[in-house]
Amino acid sequence: MDIKFYYEETSMPLQTIADKLGIGLNKVWKYTKRNYSKEFRKARKVKNYSASKLGNKNPMFGNNGNKHHNYVGIVSDSKGYWMQLKPKWYTGRIHSKHVFVHHIVVCENLGITEVPKGWNVHHCDSNPENNSFDNLVLMLMSDHQRLHNSLKGATTISKESTLKWVETYGTPFKRDDIVCSIQECIAVKTGTV
């Protein structure tokens, strides 16, 4: 084996070729400079550099989500609602990386994978930062609007009162309305069903 073979057939750096052949780096460098064009040497260098950053050799490999150096965690949208990176199980907001925290809280507690189309999450105390399940009610968008219209000028009402209002004047959420639960969705995605 000679310099030509190692330089053309492998992606070894010049120092490794020199060590493998038991010769000095300067000799290998002079040989490549004498026998290969500047364009060929540059193309080889670019190719080897790219290959050195692929897969688990990439310094950012595995640094996604909360491991990424730019990760900021939960962020606020412009209206005061909190958003976070969309969990893998969440099937809503298809073209978005983020999802509202109150949607995640409701979905986790009801065992669903997204807020169904036409439904909305209501904050009972009107505080968009209070994402406790005890403060959230899932209701139809039309019911949500009617609730807010009927509450104009009033103070906030409890979750129990909100649920009674929905039962009396709106459409209560039923599990029959959902497509699949979180467990069923995960099972379908992993092929265990």
pLDDT tens digits for range 58-117: 888 888 777 888 777 788 888 889 999 899 899 988 888 899 999 999 999 988 999 998
- pLDDT band with cut points at 50, 70 and 90 for residue 185: very low
The predicted pLDDT at position 168 comes to: 81
Domain boundaries, the chain: 3-57, 100-190
- Residues 179 and 170 sit within 8 Å (Cβ to Cβ): no
Strand order through the sheet with 82-85 = 75-76, 82-85, 98-100
The encoded tokens of residue 86 equal 């969309």
**Lowest-pLDDT range, 86-90, 106-110, 166-170, 185-189?**
185-189
- pLDDT band with cut points at 50, 70 and 90 for residue 176: low
pTM score above 0.85: no
Nearest to 96 by CA among 108, 105, 84, 106: 84
In terms of pLDDT, which residue wins out, 188 or 30?
A: 30
Helices 14-21 & 25-35 angle (0-180, nearest 10): 120
Separation in Å, CA 54 to CA 15, 46, 50: 21, 13, 7
- Residues 124 and 157 sit within 8 Å (Cβ to Cβ): yes
The encoded tokens of residue 130 equal 């209070």
- Residues 113 and 91 sit within 8 Å (Cβ to Cβ): yes
Report the pLDDT averaged over residues 145-166.
81
Burial of residue 139 (number of CB atoms within 10 Å: 0-12, 13-18, 19+): buried
The predicted pLDDT at position 64 comes to: 77
In angstroms, rounded to a whole number, what is the distance separating the alpha carbons of residues 42 and 139?
62
The pLDDT tens digits for 2-56 are: 999 999 999 899 999 999 999 999 999 999 999 999 999 999 999 988 888 888 8
Nearest to 14 by CA among 37, 43, 55, 48: 48
The pLDDT tens digits for 118-127 are: 999 999 888 8
